[in-house]
Amino acid sequence: MRTKLTMTLAVLALGAIAPAEARDDKHMFPIKAALGKSQQYKEKLESDIALYFGKQKAPAVGKRIGEYTSNKKTNGFNKSDQEACDIAFISAAAALQDRARREGGNAVINIRSVYRNDNVASETEYLCGSGAVMSGVALRGTVVTLAKGKK
């Protein structure tokens, strides 16, 4: 009898707690603003690997090495969505630069946002997803070596 009463109370208590809706907001934020904050964050962008977003015109390509994806998340606690997204964006872009270095490239071209099932190629904005506690950015680009003397 006591077990039945305990189970009934537990079910009633669980039913009384309203299910929290998970937040999954998608935002478009300016690339230029995020790049301008790069040196403020733990991960920083370096100038040795050039980054070209969307259909942004890049110098002549000497060699295409491959297409790679970087998916980074950051804790959004006590941050605005844009601040958390900018941190994740810089981290994802820095990871693309690191990959280019490892592969012998000197640039990443055609960088686009690939958050979840969205594929957004923009020269001016990136796509970010923000939840209750995390924000994330996924970038995909082609690692290349630019023709000699170009970057």
Is 101 inside a domain boundary? yes
Contact, 88 vs 137, CB < 8 A? yes
Task: Assign 3-state DSSP to the chain and report helix, strand, coil percentages, each to 5.
Answer: 30, 35, 35
How many domains does the chain contain in total?
1
Is 89 inside a domain boundary? yes
pLDDT digits (tens, 9 = 90+) for 43-87: 789 999 999 999 999 999 999 999 999 999 999 999 999 999 999
pLDDT digits (tens, 9 = 90+) for 83-133: 999 999 999 999 999 999 999 999 999 999 998 889 999 999 999 999 999
pLDDT digits (tens, 9 = 90+) for 14-43: 444 444 568 889 999 999 999 998 878 877
pLDDT of residue 34: 95
Give the domain CATH number at 43: 3.30.110.70
Cα–Cα distance measured from residue 38 to residue 52, given in angstroms and rounded to the nearest whole number: 16
Cα–Cα distance measured from residue 151 to residue 105, given in angstroms and rounded to the nearest whole number: 11
Is 94 inside a domain boundary? yes
Full residue range of the structural domain in which residue 65 is found: 23-146
Is 69 inside a domain boundary? yes
Is 13 inside a domain boundary? no
**Rounded to the nearest 5 degrees, what angle is found at the Cα of 112, between the Cα atoms of 136 and 96?**
70
pLDDT of residue 16: 46
SS3 call for 14: helix
Q: How confident is the model at residue 12 (pLDDT cuts 50, 70, 90)?
A: very low
